[in-house]
Amino acid sequence: MQRTRKLTAFAVALAALLAVFALYTRPDFLVTLADQIWACF
């Protein structure tokens, strides 16, 4: 049970990191993110 929980947590963390990496490889996402951050000021 403990091993399954640890493996599931690792898989979720890995999926989140891969999703963030995939977004940062898209230049249009970076421009949109920069525009949204700049709009806060």
pLDDT at 33: 87
With beta carbons less than 8 A apart as the criterion, state whether 29 and 23 touch: yes
Report if pTM > 0.85. no
DSSP 1-41: -HHHHHHHHHHHHHHHHHHHHHHHT-HHHHHHHHHHHHHT-
pLDDT at 7: 95
Which amino acid is it at 11?
A
Domain ranges (residues) in the chain = 2-39
Report the distance separating Cα 7 and Cα 31, nearest Å: 35
Q: What is the pLDDT of residues 1-37, one digit of tens each?
A: 899 999 999 999 999 999 989 988 888 988 998 999 9
